[in-house]
Amino acid sequence: MTRHVEPEVFLVARPELDFDELGRYLEDVGGLSWLERLDRDQLTPQDLAEFAGRLCYRSFEPGLNPNVTRIRQDQDAYLRNILASAHGSVLEHLSFSFVLHNVSRVLTHELVRHRPGVAISQESLRYVRLSDIPFWFPEWAREDAELMKRATEMLDRMEEFQIWAADHFGLDEPGVEFAVKKHRTSFMRRFAPEGVATGLVWTANVRTLRNVIEARTAPGAEEEIRLVFGRVGELMREECPALFGDYTVTDGAWAPGWRKV
């Protein structure tokens, strides 16, 4: 019986700063007053973005760089200026890792087009044997009774084949080597649709995230990837409001106030 699933997004890793090491560096260059504005117990990824930007101009406080006579004290204002001036390299230091769960291979095939600033580890169906075909149906499809009847019939047949093939190859019999299981499982995965639900760890830096959120929530983007990256956008706005607060969301499309950062 076809199992309907919903795509989910889990934010599983974010940047972590070392307050003491920052202090060692800043003591050497004379910027400890900047560090004193931070709470060592509540450091955020945005602190890293600000630190990297200020290092570029040695603008931790006035006077460290003779060319800098005044500095922005407010972090939000500082980071908004980073975005407005398209100083995007600063944002590449901030990487976040997501688990994209119950997403289709339709989505993952599109997502691999975004390569700069990205790391991917995807569930391998060469090793992971399918016992069913978990599948996401958009709401409009679920409302079409005849479509659902025909679609689920096809998926049920594919599920039956996976179970039959495993038995036919004797994959669960004692003593079957893993190399044999892998070889047969790789063959069996060819009979699963691109829409089968899978999972991956997807890591991207903030510069890339800004681009992908805009591109993959645009009105012309594929509907599943729009759903997933709308959620990614929500998570990032919670994590880094100063770096993602310039977006306006209209009918699910995320448009940044500053492009080509």
How crowded is residue 79: how many other Cβ atoms within 10 Å of its Cβ? 24
The candidate with the shortest Cα–Cα distance to 192, out of 120, 127, 105, 109, is 105
Q: How many residues does the chain have?
A: 261
Cβ burial of 197 (10 Å; 0-12, 13-18, 19+) is: buried
Structure tokens at 135: 């599948």
Instruction: Name residues whose C-beta falls within 8 Å of residue 33's C-beta, 6 or more positions apart in sequence.
Output: 60, 61
What's the chain's Rg over C-alpha atoms? 24
Question: Of these residues, 129, 216, 226, 237, which one is catalytic?
Answer: 216
* Catalytic-residue membership of 216: yes
Contact (Cβ atoms closer than 8 angstroms) between residue 206 and residue 257: no
Contact (Cβ atoms closer than 8 angstroms) between residue 50 and residue 79: yes
| CA distance linking residue 171 with residue 181, whole number of Å | 6
Instruction: Give catalytic residues, as residue numbers.
Output: 216
